[in-house]
């Protein structure tokens, strides 16, 4: 048997570094300052993202290469999903599903699966 995916509209934001997801800092009420205001920007960057957190793993060195993209692990994020946690590589899309769940998606898969609504 063959099946076609039902058309649904999802929310998605492309992630490149900590703080990129629009909801990462909203819950604590801090507006993102200009990167030219270094004192306020450094204070803002100290906060852990609420959606995509810093990648941390006690058995993986931050300078080691990612098995998905080859970049150093210290530039990656981590997101909790319904299936457990997942690495978020720079450039991945963070999708918000129909029930509010969030998960990462590789850019090539995202482009093949979704189009702008």
Structure confidence by residue, pLDDT tens digits, 94-117? 999 888 899 999 999 999 999 888
| 59 assigned to some structural domain | yes
| 44 assigned to some structural domain | no
| 105 assigned to some structural domain | yes
pLDDT band (50, 70, 90) for residue 77: very high
| 46 assigned to some structural domain | no
Query: Which residues neighbour 23 within 8 Å (Cβ) at sequence distance 6 or greater?
Result: 50, 51
| 26 assigned to some structural domain | no
- Distance CA(30)–CA(69), nearest Å, equals 32
| 102 assigned to some structural domain | yes
- The pLDDT of residue 39: 63
Q: Please count the structural domains in the chain.
A: 1
| 5 assigned to some structural domain | no
| 38 assigned to some structural domain | no
- The pLDDT of residue 28: 46
What are 8-54's pLDDT values in tens digits?
889 999 999 887 888 886 544 555 555 566 666 555 555 667 889 88
- Distance CA(65)–CA(53), nearest Å, equals 18
Average pLDDT over every residue of 55-77: 90
Q: Which residue range forms the structural domain that includes residue 67?
A: 11-18+52-113
């Amino acid at each position: 048997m063959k099946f076609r995916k039902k058309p649904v509209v999802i929310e998605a934001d492309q992630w490149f570094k900590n703080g990129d997801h629009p909801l990462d800092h909203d819950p604590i009420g801090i507006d993102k300052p200009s990167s030219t205001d270094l004192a306020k920007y450094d204070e803002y960057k100290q906060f852990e993202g609420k959606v995509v957190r810093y990648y941390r793993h006690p058995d993986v060195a931050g300078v080691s290469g990612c098995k998905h993209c080859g970049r150093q692990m210290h530039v990656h994020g981590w997101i909790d999903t319904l299936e457990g946690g997942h690495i978020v590589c720079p450039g991945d899309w963070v999708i918000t599903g129909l029930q509010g769940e969030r998960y990462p998606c590789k850019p090539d898969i995202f482009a093949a699966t979704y189009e702008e609504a």
